[in-house]
Amino acid sequence: MTFLGTDRIEVVRFTDGDVVRYATLGMSAHPMTDPTAVLADPVQGPRAELVLSVRGGLVDTDKVLRPLAVLAASPQVEGLVVAPGASLDVGEPLWPGAPFTSVLVAEPGGLVEDLDLDAPMDPVQFLPLLPMTPNEAAWKRVHGAGALQERWLSRGTDLRDPTRGSVALDQG
């Protein structure tokens, strides 16, 4: 997909057993730049691609291609630096009927190792995306990404389930 004023962003789909993975290609073509910087460094700076993993066959998640391309274009379009702990919101369901309108950017290195580039370029990080319901996103804004991830873990939340509801967010 191409957005006005940006380079092409592709989203590829891989199947691994019952898990479908969507990965962006093109977001890392340029380093992400702090929007407050006077000049953008064309060589150095963080580079990343996004990876979303969901259980296949439950709903039609292939409609997530455009929202993922939009998120991957956000550093070029909006001057965002996408980093672990960040929330990214598309303002609509990630796919038709999805209970998720945003994602939490998780730590890299678990699923796909960083891709080293020639010096002085920073390596490309592959950032996992964890779908969030609007309630989870609001709770994360108040309590932080770590607290939400701990809540998911303590409740045994299957973050790959494309039909899951919001985790219990009460204080109990």
**Non-local CB neighbours of 37 within 8 Å, separated by 6+ positions:** none
- What tokens were used for 71? 């998120």
pLDDT digits (tens, 9 = 90+) for 14-48: 999 999 999 999 999 999 987 777 777 788 889 99
pLDDT beyond 60 at 4: no
Mean pLDDT in residue range 99-126: 93
Residue type, 125: Q
CA 49 to chain centre: 8
Distance in angstroms (rounded) separating the CA atoms of residues 168 and 35: 36
- Asked if residue 2 lies in contact with residue 9, where contact means CB atoms within 8 angstroms, the answer is yes
- Confidence (pLDDT) at 143: 96
- Confidence (pLDDT) at 111: 83
Residues in the chain: 172
Q: What is the DSSP letter of 115?
A: B
